[in-house]
Amino acid sequence: MNANCLLRRPVGCLKMALRQTRQQRLVVRSMATTTEANTTEANTTPEELQTNLRQQPVQPGGKPPFAVWPQLPSVRHTHKNPMLALDAQQRAKLDPTGSRTSLFDRSRPDAAKVGDVLMVTTKTGAPFSGVCTSYRRRGVDTAICVRGQILKVSVERWFKIYSPTVLGIDIAWRKPKRARRARLTYMRKPKHDMGNVDALVKNFIKERYGGRRGKGGMRFEKS
């Protein structure tokens, strides 16, 4: 019996010893947690503190060893709205001639409006033509949404008018009647989709560059 118990519980004899050590831990403290009070700070009176401060070294002239600088003037009085100045600075840098700003200015009657056909020329890729469906006016981040067709599939592209990658924005065709909405999202439906606008763009190119001749004849004449 004893042999079987030892085989099943080889460390059973240590149970009593561990129980005694647990009881001893509860009785005996392992370390002290009380702190000694600093008698020098406790016995120091405010009068002694003032005398200690007076005994500190002072520079000749009666000035303290450190300089107290006056508060800087706030820019809130001189620049109440700094975003307007920053926007004007960025526009002068990105659009020095002011042509992009005047093209989408609401106060100008000849500005581009929603529903007009625009031709956007970029540094990379061919010019993209389509109907301007909406504007997003955000200062120098102002963008336009142009809806056109690529391989007979309607595509909408956003262009930032002040982006350096945009070389030019031309109005190929103006809508005769002003649109009643600011966003022409209904053009996404097939019955309102304007479709391909290449014919309008070709007429605009002929009217604009038709009188210019090069060495090989007309500029857009097929060879």
Per-residue pLDDT, averaged over 80-93, amounts to: 90
Q: Name residues whose C-beta falls within 8 Å of residue 100's C-beta, 6 or more positions apart in sequence.
A: 94, 161, 162, 169
Structural domains in the chain (count): 1
Average per-residue pLDDT in the chain?
80
pLDDT attached to residue 99? 93
Q: Is residue 172 one of the residues assigned to a domain? A: yes
pLDDT tens figures, 100-152:
999 999 999 999 999 999 999 999 889 999 999 999 999 999 999 999 999 99
Looking at per-residue pLDDT, the higher value among 22 and 171 belongs to 171
Q: Is residue 41 one of the residues assigned to a domain? A: no
Q: What CATH number is given to the structural domain containing 134? A: 2.30.30.790
Local structure of 170: helix, strand or coil: strand
Q: Is residue 219 one of the residues assigned to a domain? A: no
Q: Is residue 221 one of the residues assigned to a domain? A: no
Q: Is residue 48 one of the residues assigned to a domain? A: no
Give residue 166's domain range. 85-209
**Sheet hosting strand 166-173, strand order edge to edge:** 153-160, 143-150, 128-136, 117-122, 166-173
Q: Is residue 146 one of the residues assigned to a domain? A: yes
Tokens read off for 73: 């003037």
pLDDT attached to residue 223? 35
Q: Is residue 160 one of the residues assigned to a domain? A: yes
Percentage of the chain beyond pLDDT 70 is 69
Burial letters for 150-180: b for 16+ Cβ neighbours within 10 Å, e otherwise? Answer: eeeebeeeebbbbbeebeebbbbbeeeeeee
Q: Is residue 20 one of the residues assigned to a domain? A: no
